[in-house]
Copies of this chain bind each other. A is one copy, B any other.
Amino acid sequence: MESLVLFTICLMTIENVRSLPVEMPTATYLQQRAQIVNGEANLRVGGSIQLSAREQQVNRLLMVAKGKEINSSRTTNGPSFLPSIHFFHGKDLIEESEVFQIIKTMPKGGGLHLHDCSMADITWLVKTVTYMDHCYMCTDQNNHIKFHFYQTPPSNPGCPWKLIATERQNASDKEKFDQMLYNSMSLIVPDPVKTYPTKDVVWKALYRVWDVANGLINYEPVFGKYFHQALKEFHEDNVQYLETRALLPVLYNLDGSTIDNRTFVMELYKQNLDQFVKDHPDFTGGRIIRSGYKFVSTSDVLQQIKESIAMLQQYPQLFAGYDLMGQEDHGIPLIEYISAIVYPSQQNITLPYFFHAGETNWEGTPTDNNLIDAVLLNTSRIGHGYALTKHPETMKLVKSKGIAIEVNPISNQVLKLVDDLRNHPASSLLAEDFPVVISSDVPALWGARGLSYDFYMAFMGMTGADTDLAMLKKLAINSLQYSAMSPSEKRTAITLWQNKWEQFIDRILGDEPPAVPFVGKQ
């Protein structure tokens, strides 16, 4: 409070003040007011959920923790409110949050917006994959690292291949060496605002680190293991189901030969998923969404769509549909691909779409209008949909058609759509029970694991201080409800989730021993 100004104000008002009993507002007024407050509470995601007595007990613990965090940050000189600061600075602090700890143990359902090559912790790539035999690296003139497995590396002028084992051996500090490898595949930097002044710069870095990691991931003996590691991490984060946007890339062997066969890649996904589900009966499974880049020609997209149709027939349980991805602001708008996109329906074939759309703040541009096309072209869900709240007619369609919006809070912050997540437009969608699901996009790139960090951001930054466990519960249910599973699979998944939820409630209330990582059937 500003003593000087307030002093002046007080001087101005104190004189002639008559004493007045501070009356309570009338009952009628309080009733009117409660009607709006409750109306808004009922309207939001989870607003229709009635918490049981035991859930209410957990909710009280959660809300005390939430209130404590919010109130301490609202105090002058209080700590930064974590959803308002950059995730690179906030991550460690989030991990100390009680709310985060509760969210971590909560069964969160499914992750529906994830990209194949950034789902598992980069630490695993460094500590496991780069320790494998025959792993080479090179450093180009820009000091950018590349990785590749070779029996005998070819000559590579400008970026000569060196055996990582030897390089690490020769390094004065092996931990520093490994950190350098980690950094080459991550977006994390000490000063993200300075390092990434624009969206273009951070996207360029994203493409580059993807390419670096793919040098390791696309090695045939690694590819399946990487996916397994992703499943393991999400499972440990109490996620039971994953839908992966997959490039289905060309893999390579040690002898330099390549495996240019998407069915082969799908088989790797299938085997690993099947095995994981077998080993973890509390894991539902996953789906693959083939994702092409929205930079290629219409005929390329048509080709991918035709292949997707074939894959849907070959893997009806595993293959979910098709998407177009990449930095949307520089991508070709969906409308330009329309002749390819409508091909399945022209053939009376159903190929579900899961289009990225509206991952932009350039309102009124062709990019922005992707939202309209995604909806008209019957997308099953919308990836990001960041711009949706600027499109009132499209919003109505999204709601009436039940098209889920895949919101990825941290991604939108790191990729520079919004700094303070309290300004994320999805807060309006959450306030009005839009079919929102929370996902983590490419969590590995910023050192996140699973969905908990993004659930934390959504719950703390994109909902009110009075929004509670009911929304978290509904977000988890949404993630299964709006998945690509069949109705009967959904029922099974939700039943499984319900059991996990009850265990979660028991655990928080101390009626069950602390969770231990699930290690299979034995």
Contacts and interface: CB of A to CB of B under 8 A. Distances in A.
Contact of A74 (B20, B204, B329): B329
Interface residues of A, number: 103
Contact of A420 (B329, B397, B418): B418
Contacts of A431: 389-392
B293 A9 contact: yes
A18 interface: yes
A371 to B, nearest CB: 9
Contacts of A207: 2, 4-5
B373 A33 contact: yes
Contacts of A39: 393
B74 A365 contact: yes
A18 B299 contact: yes
Interface string A249-278: 110000000001000000000000000000
A198 B392 CA distance: 33
Interface stretch (A149-157, A313-321, A458-466, A475-483): A458-466
Contact of A295 (B9, B247, B338, B467): B9
A36 interface: yes
A368 B70 CA distance: 13
A76 interface: yes
Listed residue (A260, A365, A467) with the most chain B CB atoms within 10 angstroms of its CB = A365
A207 B368 CA distance: 40
Contacts of A296: 9-10, 13
A210 interface: yes
A94 interface: no
B393 A40 contact: yes
A515 interface: no
A220 interface: no
27 contacts: A4-B211, A9-B295, A13-B292, A13-B300, A13-B303, A16-B303, A17-B303, A18-B302, A19-B299, A20-B339, A20-B340, A24-B339, A33-B335, A36-B376, A36-B397, A37-B369, A40-B394, A70-B362, A76-B330, A364-B464, A364-B465, A365-B464, A368-B465, A389-B428, A391-B431, A392-B432, A423-B425
